[in-house]
Copies of this chain bind each other. A is one copy, B any other.
Amino acid sequence: MSKKLAIIATKGTLDWGYPPFILASTAAALGYEVQIFFTFYGLQLLKKKMDVKVSPLGNPGMPMPMGMDKWFPVIGTAIPGMQSVMTKMMKAKMKSKGVASLEDLRDLCVEADVKIIACQMTVDLFDMNHSEFIDGIEYGGAAMFFEFAGEADISLFV
């Protein structure tokens, strides 16, 4: 019987969107049965048109590309427009390094039969609509997460 990985994906930023998709696709490639429960801000990662950004604030440990942390101290990251500049630079850097985009990694997970569940409570809370999300996903609550996680070899809250 194959091993099982359960992930709760709760964050909706460009950087924190990577761990769930990288872990899930890697585990699937290793033969794991994988399920991701997207909830809270993590629902952003299931939108058809993903519009996520790097959050420079609150990540002082982030080595910013091209030494920007030297030019712009913390206050700099709060300048209007800086966040989208950072996001573009991060995307360019990742592309130049051959790192797949979040959309590509998400596709990879779907193709690898990673089961994707969106938290219906969060959908309701933020007045979201199922039509905003990619196809082929299920909707459910925390109880659905436990059904799988209770039998999983690894459970991670990301």
Q: Report which of B23, B83, B97, B149 forms a contact with A124, defined as CB distance below 8 A.
A: B97
Contacting residues, chain B, for A39 (C-beta < 8 A): 19
Asked if A40 lies at the interface with its beta carbon under 8 angstroms from chain B, I say: yes
Query: Most chain-B Cβ atoms within 10 A of its Cβ — which of A29, A143, A150?
Result: A150
Asked if A158 lies at the interface with its beta carbon under 8 angstroms from chain B, I say: yes
Q: Are B55 and A59 in contact (CB under 8 A)?
A: yes
Q: How many copies does the complex hold?
A: 3
Q: Report which of B15, B29, B32, B73 forms a contact with A40, defined as CB distance below 8 A.
A: B15
- Which of chain A's residues 103-139 have a Cβ closer than 8 Å to chain B? 121, 124-126, 128
Q: Are B99 and A125 in contact (CB under 8 A)?
A: yes
Q: Report which of B53, B62, B149, B155 forms a contact with A41, defined as CB distance below 8 A.
A: B62
Give A93 to B158 CA distance when docked, in angstroms. 25
- Which residues of A come within 8 Å of B, CB atoms? 3, 5-6, 8, 10-13, 15, 18-19, 22-23, 26-27, 29-30, 32, 39-42, 44, 52-55, 57-63, 73-75, 78-83, 93-94, 97, 99, 121, 124-126, 128, 141-143, 146, 149-150, 152-158
